[in-house]
Amino acid sequence: MAGISLMKNKLEAYKCYANEALHFKLVRHESDLEDDRTTFHPDMTHQLFGDQESIFGYKDLEIQLYYSAAKLTTYLHIKYFDKVSPKRFEGVSADDVIKILAKEMPPGYYTNLDNFVAALPKDANFKPFGDLLHSYTVYKDGKDRKFEIYKISIDCPGFRDYHERLQTFLLFFVDAASFIDVDDDKWSFYLVFEKYRDNGNRMYAIVGYMTVYNYYAYPEKVRPRVSQVLIMPPFQRQGHGAQLLQTFYNECYKRNDILDITVEDPSENFQRLRDFVDAKNCSKLESFQPRHLHNGFSDEMMKEAQEKLKLSRKQARRVYEILRFKVTDPSNIKQYRKYRLDIKKRLNLPFQKNGRDFQKLQRALHPDELNATLSCMSIEQRHCYLEKAFEEHVEMCRHVIERLAESVD
């Protein structure tokens, strides 16, 4: 027993946290390879390395997953100080990290750094796929940086292979991500690139992308659903997500065949982005002006938001609540109480219909507070849930309103 315990303690030293071990780079120059400032780490690795996001069998493990900034030419390599081997550790083997990663990556990646470096100059020949929809600038690092957004279909020459490399990032930055069936022609792709000059050459670097699936809506309409959205970590919190979503919106506004726009299981961060863009747009509509907001959510709001902005009823209502909170004075007891009651009335609907919000209630309440059905919930438990849900709603509104205050048209 003592020997087993000793071996177990010895092996513990060979466990490492995958999120820290994995080093990404979007490489523009060879010098980026030695620059720690160009390195970023994944948000998650559980989709490859399990719920514990742990890798076994190495000391000081570093997984290098580098992409050229434009063509996404890929380099994969691991290095470590020490590794578990069956001969040294009584038949115990280390995780095959390369095999695990390679399973999710398209073929053709480099494992030799010199070969990867030799391929970097080919990025100068890269031109974005598809049609240019929008150009904009962002002031960053003491200068105006230029960005462009393109719309692409999967049959664009060369894009299928490019997309295979691009979508590998989803596994590390989008929870519950899955690779899409690109053979379905209902998919549309929107890509953001930075455009810059290097030694006189016009160059591009990938910033992020979005996929949209165009569902059929009876009898002759289309209902686009935003599926995957990713802005690369070096470009986050610079407004690119809002630019990307608004560019997609602008294209939808022109089309009479679009009923409304939906989003597939949005993350909290994307929902905040969507709320910000939609609230900014709705604030310009007549029915969403402050003088109308205190009267409650109206058919006029729903109709105008759908006809002019292609918003669903659910999202239009959500935006109304945000904008109404914006014009509600917390020191005005009567006004704030009226707003509170309006929101709680909506939050109370699941108790009345025992509908799809049941899972949300399960997450919000302690298991022993939640009985088999909502109808069994006591009045005290219901009030507890409503109060907690209202506080979360107010916090969400404040985040969006703060960003609205910072934004400039």
Residue 298 CA to residue 354 CA, distance in Å, equals: 24
Q: How many CA atoms lie within 13 A of 334 on its CB side?
A: 1
Residue 68 CA to residue 66 CA, distance in Å, equals: 7
- Closest C-alpha to 25, from 61, 75, 60, 71: 75
Q: How many CA atoms lie within 13 A of 99 on its CB side?
A: 4
Q: What are phi and psi of 111, to 5 degrees?
A: -115, -5
Q: In what order do the strands lie in the sheet with 22-27?
A: 39-40, 22-27, 62-68, 74-79
Assess contact for 279 and 268: CB atoms under 8 A.
Answer: no
* Per-residue DSSP letter, 62: E
Beta carbons within 8 Å of 80's beta carbon, 6+ residues apart:
58, 59, 60, 61, 62
What is the separation, in whole angstroms, between the first and last Cα of the chain? 70
* Per-residue DSSP letter, 105: S
Strand partners, 110: 75
Residue 189 CB coordination number (10 Å): 23
β pairing state of 62-68 and 74-79: antiparallel
Which among 90, 264, 300, 391 is annotated as catalytic? 264
Residue 215 CA to residue 257 CA, distance in Å, equals: 11
264 belongs to the catalytic site:
yes
- Closest C-alpha to 161, from 229, 72, 228: 72
Burial group, residue 95, by CB count within 10 angstroms (0-12, 13-18, 19+):
buried
Catalytic machinery residues:
264
